[in-house]
């Protein structure tokens, strides 16, 4: 009678044994060799930790020696042979170099501290593999290069001047930022669920100055807040389950965190209302509206979409005697420039221009204040995956340079468009639907923190992904 054989060849001892797969290198090890393999990984992590400590000392040395910069030595020489007027100029230039160098080192040190926190977490939780170690090595190489070659500033001399004037030429800041293509899961990531470390179809998100993340947790009927680097969230609205009572929510989506009034304004989708929660006290701001997403301008006006009436309205909070003013759409469902078809996310700029994700038209529209029709600023070439197309666009954000960021829901990517360009460019994602760190599955909400890191509500993966800015 044949015996069942559940043994495989151990990669280390090359003998048939019961083996276990290492998640990092995907090789099979028997229990003895797996323990030794993990010990070697621990030793490698220790060496990497030593390298990081050495790098920290290098940062500290450079911070203490900012005045030793080679450009400052040139400035000092120029200072000696120049008049008092030029000496004042030299002082100004020195301050520019020091400030630029300090900013560069601070930026590198911030990246370093973040990586060191990851090492400490690996050491504490003992949950890491070759993939994590290779990532740490590569990041250390990258920030070492940035520290050794911090910027391309140089001195420009003007020989036509009565005296040899000098200027400090700082590198131009590119408006085309880039982000690490491998995200860090900062919220959720433990499968769909209602535990405090889980999400269920997260939609609208907001990141405050302390990097706390506020999330419209749609299928859990709650608003949840995650403090920076927390392991789980805290329910701040909707803790009483699904329902239509004042202390309940039903499918919340869009949120606004009004930091001046310390309140949260919520699109309570299935209850067809917009509600405000302030210190556990609730009030209905708008009744009987098919609203899923919200925005607020600098004057405190509230903008809400009505996806069934295909319009966006502006409301003054606290004024219960009006029905709002139509600021986009309102001319029925259609594809004309004065029409919308299932508008979703909204963004309002400093000029009160309204950007609308016109979802079923696969385009983003911009309506200037008091305009009778909008203009297409992203997509508008039919549904598709080409760079001039979108598929069910969702979250939209416009930066200070007028660049438009769009969560391209149906294409599992985030795109960036300039208003006058015929096509956009890929920001993150676009690697097919999936759960890997470089993949998305229905990206929907977008937010930036003060450092320019990009946060994406990965709707069907039930997580929030953070893509760190690299330049």
pLDDT at 452 over 70: yes
Strand ranges (E), 97-218: 154-158, 165-169, 184-188, 202-207, 213-217
| DSSP annotation string for 22-33 | -TTT--EEEHHH
CA distance 28 to 34: 8
Could you read off the pLDDT of 229-249 as tens digits, one per residue? 899 999 999 989 999 999 999
Helices (H) and strands (E) in the chain, counts: 4, 30
pLDDT at 3 over 50: no
The pLDDT, as a whole number, for residue 454 is 96
Report the pLDDT averaged over residues 385-391.
96
Report the pLDDT averaged over residues 389-405.
94
Question: Rounded mean pLDDT of the chain?
Answer: 88
- List the single range of 12-16, 101-105, 418-422 with lowest mean pLDDT: 101-105
Backbone torsions φ then ψ of 234, nearest 5 degrees: -130, 130
Q: Which residue has the tokens 């329910």?
A: 235
Kindly report the CATH number that applies to the domain delimited by 179-470: 2.120.10.30
Could you read off the pLDDT of 352-378 as tens digits, one per residue? 999 999 999 999 999 999 999 999 999
Q: Pairing between strand 202-207 and 184-188?
A: unpaired
The torsion of the CA quartet 417, 269, 275, 358, rounded to 10 degrees, works out to 20
The pLDDT, as a whole number, for residue 1 is 42
Which are the contacts of 434, defined by CB distance < 8 A and separation ≥ 6? 412, 440, 441
pLDDT at 23 over 60: yes
Angle between helices 84-125 and 130-148 (to 10 degrees): 170
CA distance 435 to 218: 20
Could you read off the pLDDT of 155-204 as tens digits, one per residue? 766 655 656 666 766 665 555 688 999 999 999 999 999 999 999 999 99
Could you read off the pLDDT of 41-63 as tens digits, one per residue? 999 999 999 999 999 888 888 88
CA distance 313 to 304: 5
331 pLDDT band (50/70/90 cuts)? very high
The pLDDT, as a whole number, for residue 170 is 64
Of 25 and 383, the structure prediction assigns the larger pLDDT to 383
Q: Which residue has the tokens 């470390």?
A: 197
DSSP label at 351? T
The pLDDT, as a whole number, for residue 163 is 64
Could you read off the pLDDT of 273-289 as tens digits, one per residue? 999 998 778 999 999 99
Q: Could you tell me the sign of the dihedral formed by the alpha carbons of 414, 419, 425, 430, in that order?
A: positive
Q: Which residue has the tokens 């900062």?
A: 186
pLDDT at 2 over 50: no
Closest among 417, 447, 267 to 344, alpha carbons compared: 267
Helix/strand/coil for 382 = coil
Global pTM reads 0.68
Closest among 18, 110, 17 to 59, alpha carbons compared: 110
CA distance 121 to 407: 31
Which are the contacts of 76, defined by CB distance < 8 A and separation ≥ 6? 90
Domain residue ranges of the chain, discontinuous segments joined by +: 6-64, 93-169, 179-470
The pLDDT, as a whole number, for residue 470 is 87
The torsion of the CA quartet 173, 175, 176, 177, rounded to 10 degrees, works out to 70
Tokens standing for 194?
Answer: 């209602």
Could you read off the pLDDT of 77-134 as tens digits, one per residue? 777 766 666 677 778 778 888 877 887 888 888 888 888 888 888 888 887 888 788 8
pLDDT at 409 over 60: yes
CA distance 178 to 469: 6
Region for 380 from its dihedrals, namely left if φ exceeds 0, alpha if ψ lies in -120 to 50, beta otherwise: left
Backbone torsions φ then ψ of 159, nearest 5 degrees: -70, -15
pLDDT at 468 over 60: yes
């Amino acid at each position: 009678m044949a015996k069942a054989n559940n043994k495989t060849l151990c990669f280390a001892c090359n003998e048939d044994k019961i083996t276990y797969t290492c998640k990092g290198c995907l090789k099979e090890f028997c229990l003895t060799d797996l323990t030794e393999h993990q010990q070697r990984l621990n030793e490698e992590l220790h060496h990497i930790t030593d390298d990081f400590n050495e790098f920290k000392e290098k940062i500290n040395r450079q911070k203490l020696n900012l005045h030793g910069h080679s450009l400052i030595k040139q400035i000092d020489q120029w200072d000696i042979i120049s008049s008092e007027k030029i000496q004042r100029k030299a002082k100004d230039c020195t301050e520019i170099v020091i400030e630029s160098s300090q900013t560069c080192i601070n930026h590198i040190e911030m990246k370093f501290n973040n990586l060191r926190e990851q090492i400490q977490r690996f050491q504490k939780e003992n949950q890491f593999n070759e993939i994590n170690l290779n990532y740490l090595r590569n990041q250390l190489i990258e920030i070492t290069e940035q520290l050794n070659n911090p910027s391309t500033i140089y001195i420009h001399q003007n020989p036509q001047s009565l005296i040899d004037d000098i200027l400090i030429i700082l590198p131009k800041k590119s408006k085309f930022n880039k982000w690490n293509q491998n995200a860090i899961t900062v919220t959720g990531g433990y499968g769909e669920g209602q535990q405090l470390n889980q999400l269920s179809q997260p939609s609208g998100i907001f990141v405050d100055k302390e990097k706390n993340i506020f999330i419209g947790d749609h299928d859990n009927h709650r608003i949840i807040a995650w403090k920076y680097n927390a392991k789980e969230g805290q329910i701040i609205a909707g803790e009483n389950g699904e329902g239509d009572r004042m202390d309940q929510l039903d499918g919340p989506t869009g949120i606004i965190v009004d930091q001046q009034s310390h309140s949260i304004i919520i699109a309570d989708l299935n209850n067809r209302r917009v509600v405000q929660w302030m210190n556990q006290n609730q009030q209905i701001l708008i009744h009987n509206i098919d609203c899923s997403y919200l925005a607020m301008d600098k004057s405190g006006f509230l903008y809400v979409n009505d996806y069934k009436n295909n319009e966006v309205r502006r409301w003054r909070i606290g004024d219960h005697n009006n029905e709002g003013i139509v600021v986009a759409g309102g001319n029925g469902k259609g594809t004309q420039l004065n029409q919308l078809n299932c508008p979703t996310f909204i963004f309002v700029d400093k000029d009160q221009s309204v950007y609308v994700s016109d979802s079923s038209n696969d385009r983003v529209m911009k309506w200037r204040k008091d305009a009778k029709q909008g203009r297409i600023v992203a997509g508008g070439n039919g549904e598709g995956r080409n760079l001039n197309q979108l598929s069910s666009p969702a979250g939209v954000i416009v930066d200070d340079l007028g660049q438009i960021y769009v969560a391209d829901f149906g294409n599992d990517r985030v795109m960036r468009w300039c208003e006058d360009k015929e096509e956009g460019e890929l920001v993150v994602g676009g690697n097919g639907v999936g759960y890997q760190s470089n993949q998305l599955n229905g990206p929907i909400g977008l937010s930036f923190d003060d450092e320019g890191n990009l946060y994406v509500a990965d709707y069907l993966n039930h997580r929030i992904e953070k893509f760190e800015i690299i330049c």
